[in-house]
Amino acid sequence: MVDSGIKPNEVTFTSVLHACSHAGLVDDGLYLFNLMQEDTRRSPNVDHYTCIIDLLGRAGRLEEAYDIITTMPSAPSHAVWGALLGACVIHQKVELGELAAQSLFQLEPENTGNYILLAKLYAAVGRWKDAEALRDVMNDIGLRKEAAYSLTDM
């Protein structure tokens, strides 16, 4: 892209990182992210960090993703922690998932989705009592998961 004279902007970088994440192009995504970090004119923003955490998480490289979170120049957003928690559910990494969830509970105490994701992680590894206890915590603080539905056009 750069070799052909195109000057990518922040949105371009976000789109390419997102594409790398969904295509499983981990090395390409990391190369681009590192290139951004080295370019003093274009340091990664929170969207770029979210994409790289998602990329590493999908690849099962959760410790590496966490290391990036701990070295971010600004406080990680709910999207960054959410990407890590989602990856922990997929790869059944409870300890790191709990850490991500606790950060999410501080950032978004009323977001039921974060509690549900952690409960899903507990259920995935057979920790049913922990999943039930988390639902009890939600009830105690007045959070309720609304019933979801889907529509199909026929």
Tell me if 43 is assigned to some domain: yes
Query: In whole angstroms, what is the distance from residue 92 CA to residue 72 CA?
Result: 24
Query: In whole angstroms, what is the distance from residue 69 CA to residue 51 CA?
Result: 12
Residues in Cβ contact with 99 at an 8 Å cutoff, skipping those fewer than 6 apart = 66
Tell me if 80 is assigned to some domain: yes
The rounded Cα 40 to chain-centroid distance in angstroms is 25
The rounded Cα 21 to chain-centroid distance in angstroms is 12
CATH code for the domain of 92: 1.25.40.10
The rounded Cα 58 to chain-centroid distance in angstroms is 10
- Write out pLDDT tens, residues 118-133: 999 999 999 999 999 9
Q: Take residue 141 and report the two structure tokens written for it.
A: 């603080």
Tell me if 149 is assigned to some domain: no
- Write out pLDDT tens, residues 40-80: 677 889 999 999 999 999 999 999 999 999 999 999 999 99
Tell me if 147 is assigned to some domain: no
Q: Take residue 99 and report the two structure tokens written for it.
A: 């850490």
What residue type is assigned to position 142 of the chain?
Answer: G
- Write out pLDDT tens, residues 96-154: 999 999 999 999 999 999 999 999 999 999 999 999 999 998 888 887 766 555 666 65
- What's the whole-model pTM score? 0.86
Pairs from 128-134 (Cβ < 8 Å, separation ≥ 24) = none
Show the domain range for 125.
Answer: 10-140
Q: Could you give the angle at which helices 78-91 and 94-107 cross, rounded to 10 degrees?
A: 150
Number of structural domains (the chain) is 1
Tell me if 150 is assigned to some domain: no
Tell me if 101 is assigned to some domain: yes
Tell me if 88 is assigned to some domain: yes
Place of tokens 């979210």: 50
Tell me if 94 is assigned to some domain: yes
